[in-house]
Structure 1
Amino acid sequence: MAPVDVETEKSITLPPPHFVLVPLMGQGHTTPMADLACLIVGRGARVSLVTTPVNAARLRGLAAMARSALLPLEIVELPFPPADDGLPRGSNDNSDNVLQLFLSLYRLAGPLEAYVRSLPWRPSCIISDSCNPWTVGVARSVGIPRLTFTGPSCFYSLCDFNVAKHGLLHNGGVVPGMPVQVELSKDTWAAAFLTCMPAWGKFVEEVREGIRMADGAVVNTFLGLEEQFVACYEAALGKPVWALGPFFLNSRDEEARAVDQSAVIAWLDMMDQSTVVYVCFGSLAQMLPKQLYEVGYGLEDSGKPFLWVVKESEIVLPEAQEWLQALEARTAGQGLIVRGWAPQLAILSHRAVGGFMTHCGWNSLLESVAHGVPVITWPHFGDQFLNEWLAVHVLGVGVPVMPFGNDKAMVRGHIARAVSELMGGGAVAEERRIKCKEYKERAHGAIAKGGSSHENLTLLLHSFMWSGSKE
């Protein structure tokens, strides 16, 4: 019998690459990781998306889609020891509760390692959210590579790396080592790098160490938007940084086109092109009644059409509900107020939407830019302050609600001015819209076959082509 070539035998018997994705349990982190999972399985690799039983329920739609399309994507539930999920109870916007949630997830290390060791073939790679530094020990114990998924912009990640490297976490002023000028007030600096919350110090340093120890980074961005920052971040880490985004253009953009019968879309269909400002501040930021009123009055005073998403938790007080109903009555011909959830991608892709007032979470900012919609920026915490700087001063697609460095309370006049400035005419506003349209074209070009994100995914998959044996 003729000898069998080893490489030929491998190509016949070994399974495709297998990626274990470990998102942070939170909508803003889980959603892009789910989009990344769709990207990877769409190219022929296998993905296990691990989560807790509570969060697995939110991913049923993704699991059903994978089954119907016969895609090798599975949702793996890792129960907390003991059987109860063990998560702290309380308000989402309480920083102590959020920290306790992050720390409680360390208890998933044992179940994750047990899952990996139970597989017939060792996975090719773990991709874990940077806020899951406990996966460092799991990857080392089972002997497989680990990539970190950094949820913020690459611009923010580079700023954070340089500030930590130079020991300037409490300074304020100019961020060192950046290819562009970046300058924050002392208060904004503390909020951006979380030094305003001392209890977070040890955890944040573990996150930074986990990023430094990873075999590389996956980022939800594209070179046509952040090329210089991706290159600088890769050089700083000394590891590959794969820019694969925007993730959602390969998966949830179809979802956006499917949402065409809702009351929101029906209302937008009646509006003129590029006249509506969409207002939404993400899933975590909570408006106090006083802030809520100022936003509403500001939108009303702007005279521009608006679509405003208000959280149910923001209007639990009877007086807030009464105020909102009165505002709806006064602005019936001008605005639409949505309580709870709204189909954001469908809204941003609608022809009537010409601007987006956002908290500057990276998911929302990227979704807006990739749909060619300029933004009004109002950051609340963390990376959002630097994302604002990126949008306004670097990309030139944003108008701030508050002047940089101004710590006065936001009032309706700031809202009305920012809306008028973004949605108005003039050379500056038109240049902002032109830039956004260019970034939209670049985003779609990046994910197309031959585009930078498409090719980067090919390189990533080739880097982890073979799964290892169980032993």
Structure 2
Amino acid sequence: MEEQGRKGKRVLFFPLPLQGHITPMLQLANILHLNGFSITIILADNFNTTFNTIRANYPHFTFHTISDGLSEDDKAKTDVDALFLLSLFNEKCAPHFTEALRQLVLEDPNIVCLISDSILHFTKAVADSLNLHRLVLRTGGVSSCLAYAAIPLLQNKAYFPIQGIESQLEEAVEELPPLRIKDLPIFKTYNVDALYQVIQGMIRETKASSGLIINSFEQLEQFSMSKLRDDFSIPIFPIGPFHSHFPASSSSLMSQDQTSISWLDTKTPKSVIYVSFGSLAAIEINEFLEIAWGLANRNHPFLWVVRPGLIRGSEWIELLPNEFLETVDGRGHIVKWAPQQQVLAHLAVGAFWTHNGWNSTLESICEGVPMICMPCFGDQMVNARYVSHVWKVGVQLENGLKRMNIENAIRTLMEEEEGKQIKERMLELKEKANSCLKPGGSSYESLRSLTSYISSF
């Protein structure tokens, strides 16, 4: 009967058009569709022209395309400083989004709310002008959200900008245990003030929203969740892990290499190290080569995602020496992009070397795969600290990308007693991730609350 009451009610979704943000937004849309709501996705298409695959994979959604408002000159600036995009997008997309939302609301009286990415803080004023409820999706974890919310305080206490010698970076941030100074969410940008404005706008307009939806679960971030509820006096719905609510469906903006799976099929259980640093990270050529030799020297099979654009100054893997290729022949498999959920679920995978984006971190937990943590920027620093020192389900590469450090991390996780203990803790966490979605579980009940709440609008 509950689902019948939602029939015909439509929810609008507006994602930030980056892979790590589109994926959880489409997963959330799928969850609400399975619970009886009709779905419209608003896509800012000029920024990324590869949405056709997504449309084909989600025929049960309606898609509405708008311009992102960015000029060629703007795009050239964001090529140099990708994080400047967040500030520009909030400014330039606003009029196009306003016109689209007004049109959609006029045409369909069954629209009950907008769910927008928390970074797109300009959407709050637009929704208010149309008397439309706006909920916010936080695509990262709760612990990193608290770190972002604390940035003004940390600025006042001179933690930012982060600088100093290594020993100082190891010092604890007393306001945000268990973080150290080096774990705070940092970004490399030429426009630090603009970035802080985006973060402050994100926090301010989230607190003023009709509710916050989080891709996490109570048992994973219990202490942080409690603090978030104290700090944000709005309804909060932790209903993650999103991707575990339904069978895997692709929201990838890049073509996935299915040879990853057939290659894994030839390997023994828990023997393979899966290596992927996400859709945005970039590394230097010397770091790339250290990674290569670190993998080669430990003699474990590995599946390595080398995304075009990962290595600064290089097209793809042309810089790998013949000696390396001969050493790992048959033992290493390199692809441009992999179907990650399928890879992590494969019996052959025994470890995940990751940048600790939130989606990757959650997917690894849900499949019980221990992690080697190599955070690159932003909330990845916070996530890696929690993986290695709170949940203790991985090891972190701390002192630069040197092959010896890499070899030590692999040895610890794949060969030593400490690695066995990490795997045992990870299997316990996997069980918690699975149980929270079952009837009576925390995310199951939170989703029931969310669907009832949206139906009440």
The answer for the alignment partner of 2:132 in structure 1 is 144
User: 1:81 offset after TM fit, Å?
Assistant: 5.8
The answer for the alignment partner of 1:25 in structure 2 is 17
1-structure distance, mates of 2:103, 2:304: 43
Matches within 5 A, 1:195-206: 197-206=192-201
8 Å contact kept, 1:169–1:193: no
**Structure 2 letter corresponding to 1:441:** E
Query: Relative to structure 1, is the Cα distance of residues 165 and 19 closer, same or farther in structure 2, using a 3 angstrom cutoff?
Result: farther
SS in structure 2 at match of 1:332? coil
**Percent identical across equivalent pairs?**
26
**Structure 2 letter corresponding to 1:420:** R
1:211 aligns with 2:215: no
Query: Relative to structure 1, is the Cα distance of residues 364 and 273 closer, same or farther in structure 2, using a 3 angstrom cutoff?
Result: same
Report the TM-score, using the length of structure 2 for normalisation.
0.86
User: 1:328 offset after TM fit, Å?
Assistant: 2.3
User: 1:454 offset after TM fit, Å?
Assistant: 2.1
1:413 aligns with 2:404: yes
Q: Deviations over 1:149-187 (max 9, x none)?
A: 112111111232244356557427544555xx32323x5
8 Å contact kept, 2:217–2:433: yes
1:336 aligns with 2:324: no
Query: Relative to structure 1, is the Cα distance of residues 121 and 263 closer, same or farther in structure 2, using a 3 angstrom cutoff?
Result: same
In terms of mean alpha carbon deviation, does 446-455 or 215-224 score higher? 446-455
8 Å contact kept, 1:299–1:306: yes
The answer for the alignment partner of 1:401 in structure 2 is 397
1:240 maps to which of 205, 226, 235: 235
**Structure 2 letter corresponding to 1:335:** G
Q: Deviations over 1:97-145 (max 9, x none)?
A: 5543454333433223323432331522211111101101111111122
In terms of mean alpha carbon deviation, does 104-113 or 23-32 score higher? 104-113
User: 1:388 offset after TM fit, Å?
Assistant: 0.8
1-structure distance, mates of 2:265, 2:317: 29
8 Å contact kept, 2:84–2:189: no
**Structure 1 letter corresponding to 2:337:** W
**Structure 2 letter corresponding to 1:118:** L
The answer for the alignment partner of 1:367 in structure 2 is 363
2:101 maps to which of 89, 113, 122: 113
Query: Relative to structure 1, is the Cα distance of residues 421 and 134 closer, same or farther in structure 2, using a 3 angstrom cutoff?
Result: same
8 Å contact kept, 1:86–1:104: no
Matches within 5 A, 1:346-365: 346-365=342-361
The answer for the alignment partner of 1:6 in structure 2 is none
Report the TM-score, using the length of structure 1 for normalisation.
0.84
Query: Relative to structure 1, is the Cα distance of residues 126 and 225 closer, same or farther in structure 2, using a 3 angstrom cutoff?
Result: same
Matches within 5 A, 1:69-108: 71=60, 73-80=61-68, 88-89=75-76, 91=79, 94-97=82-85, 99-108=87-96
8 Å contact kept, 2:217–2:443: yes
User: 1:234 offset after TM fit, Å?
Assistant: 1.5
Structure 2 spans left out of the alignment, 5+ residues: 163-170
**Structure 2 letter corresponding to 1:453:** S
SS in structure 2 at match of 1:441? helix
User: 1:341 offset after TM fit, Å?
Assistant: 1.1
The answer for the alignment partner of 1:448 in structure 2 is 438
SS in structure 1 at match of 2:39? strand
Structure 1 spans left out of the alignment, 5+ residues: 1-10
Cα RMSD over matched residues? 3.2
8 Å contact kept, 1:112–1:138: no
8 Å contact kept, 2:306–2:317: no
8 Å contact kept, 1:223–1:452: yes
In terms of mean alpha carbon deviation, does 23-32 or 434-443 score higher? 434-443
2-structure distance, mates of 1:437, 1:267: 25
Considering only CA atoms, is the larger Rg found in Structure 1 or Structure 2?
A: 1
SS in structure 2 at match of 1:160? helix
Matches within 5 A, 1:250-269: 250-251=245-246, 253=248, 262-269=258-265
